[in-house]
Amino acid sequence: MTDETDQTRTDGGGQPALPPDDKTPTWHERKARKDGLARLTYEYFERGRLEDQRLRQESDYIERDVLGFPTWPHETIRNLSIGSFFVGMIILLAATLPPHFGDEGDPSVTPEVILPDWYLYPAFGVLQLDPINPSLALLGGDKLVSDELYGVVATGVLVGVLVVYPFVNKGAARRPVEEPFWAAVGMVGLSFGFTISVLSIDQLVADRMTGMTAPLVFDLTFIAPVVIGVVTYAVLRAMREGYMYELNRRYYRLRPPR
């Protein structure tokens, strides 16, 4: 019968559609056929696989079905409820507080207050930093760079800092209490972002708030973040000491000092 021959038939009969197991090239055979970079890649992954296997065999870690908060229902319910509230908020605010719409753009009339959306206030505030834009006596007090360029550079530096940040602050710590210093750095950055936004509307603030003047706003722009940073650091350090105290107390109760 033709069914017995080795020939593959187009009607699907005879030979099984899948190659029998013993004809499937093994990992090693496939690897042996390769050389160069492909070979290197195979070897690398093969090593990793073996390593994984070995670790899994040696470990006494019990693999559980669900290692964490299950997506359903915990994460999903939370996200659905917060999410629908959020979208509802958008629509509610859109209905109650429609956006302002000004006059047509006119090159011949400069408005009194030029303001972008709030999230560009920080970038706008940087343009107000001209008092500390370094000037050179050699250039007769001329500024080294224009204020706008200063703004561009400052923004670039900020983004650069964000990009390299994960490569600077390494380690396994995650909670702010574990790293009071870095948490304080974060608070300084956060509050500076806020104060420099206020600086971009310093004139408005000085007009509206009694006791505020533009130079005072300028000074506060730099002083407030530092104060907030120091306070954050102090609080988190105190909290960390508190945790340590608890741990130590438990430790010494178990093993009293001789």
Q: For binding to other proteins (CB under 8 A), which residues are involved?
A: 64-72, 75, 78-79, 82-83, 86-87, 89-91, 93-95, 97-99, 101-107, 109-111, 114-120, 124, 127, 145-146, 148-149, 151-152, 159, 162-163, 165-167, 169-176, 178-179, 183, 186, 190
Instruction: Please report, for residues 32, 34, 207, the alpha-carbon distance to residue 27 in angstroms, rounded to integers and kept in the order given.
Output: 9, 11, 76
- Least distance CB 114 / other proteins (angstroms): 4
Q: Which is nearer to other proteins, 115 or 223 (CB)?
A: 115
- Least distance CB 182 / other proteins (angstroms): 8
In the DSSP assignment, the letter for residue 120 is G
- Least distance CB 54 / other proteins (angstroms): 21
Reported as half-sphere exposure (CB side, CA atoms, 13 A), residue 51 has a value of 6
205: nearest Cα among 191, 190, 220: 220
Q: Which is nearer to other proteins, 152 or 216 (CB)?
A: 152
Q: Which is nearer to other proteins, 22 or 106 (CB)?
A: 106
In the DSSP assignment, the letter for residue 135 is B
- Least distance CB 210 / other proteins (angstroms): 28
Q: Give 75's contacts (C-beta < 8 A, 6+ positions apart).
A: 69
CA distance linking residue 175 with residue 183, whole number of Å = 9
